[in-house]
Amino acid sequence: MSVRDRLTLYPPLDLFNEGFLDTGDGHTLYYAECGNPNGAPALVVHGGPGGGSNPTMRRFHDPKHTRIILFDQRGCGRSLPNASIENNTTWHLIEDMERLRAHLGVERWQLFGGSWGSTLALAYAITHPERVSALLLRGIFLLRQSELDWFYKDGARALFPEAWDAFACHIPEAERGDMIRAYYTRLIDPDPRVHMPAAAAWSVWEGTTLSLAEDAARVRAFSNPGYALAFARIECHYFVNKGFFANDGALLSQAHRIAGIGGAIVHGRYDAVTPVRSAWDLKQAWPTAELRIVPDAGHAMTEPGIIHELVRATAEFRDKA
């Protein structure tokens, strides 16, 4: 297929509904809807953890046929309180998704998520398979220790040595054996002189490694203090706690629970953040899904080949409800 034949994003889309939902335990969630109010519902599950939703995420589904639902997970985006890790675990987020589903009167919905969004979507589907019509997942992240070691030890470091050195220089050499723990102690420090530089460094490391081609605008966005603190603190909180899963590989060991759910797995061949092995392992555990490896892409959802496969998948599954 030539580059000219690739599918592209749908046009920018206005919201028809937005609001806030009180969780009852100190958090208030922001949610939004766009597209067709009577269409097949699809929930967009953003990455991070701590990344928040953005307008580009509205543009992967056909708005004439789909009721597109987005929400900001606890502590990030427009949800409040910002950057809070109190009462903030995978299981709280799954409860929030169920709370939002009931609030919006949705019986079953498609889950569309990438990176950490794929992790959370899988965890939700395993917990509530009867509520999921399809799973469209990108940049698979199973939150296994091997994946954390790849990105925060010697894997991605070998591909981005200059970015790694900038990331590592914020941590004394004696602590660099466990970068996640070292950053966590700084990110939860109440002193902004400690947690803000750490947040910027953590976020820029990830922003620099997301795509095949360097994106200076993305790196600037990731370094913005208003974004970086929630992203870095919440993400590190989840990673230091191993995603709050009972054991390493928990998602794969329970994948039999989603055997009856159709879907697609989209992954960049040269994904440096979450290597393609994770997508391959998920496919073995979830054989009803179609695996689509993009030969000229990394991790970012906005790379042309990733966009093509995701838009193709949403078109194929758009009438599932």
| Residues acting as catalytic residues | 115, 271, 299
282 vs 265: CA distance, rounded Å: 8
CB atoms under 10 Å from CB of 158, counted, come to 10
205-221 burial string, b = 16+ CB within 10 Å, else e?
A: bbbbbbbbeebeebbee
d(C-alpha 73, C-alpha 92), whole Å? 10
Give the whole-angstrom CA distance, residue 284 versus residue 266.
Answer: 14
Q: Which helix (H) or strand (E) holds 278?
A: helix 277-285
3-state helix, strand, coil in the chain (%, to 5): 45, 15, 35
Read off the tokens for 314: 């949403």
- C-alpha angle 239-246-232 in degrees, rounded to nearest 5: 15
Beta carbons within 10 angstroms of residue 293's beta carbon:
17
CA distance 222 to 203: 6
Q: Are 139 and 274 in contact (CB under 8 A)?
A: yes
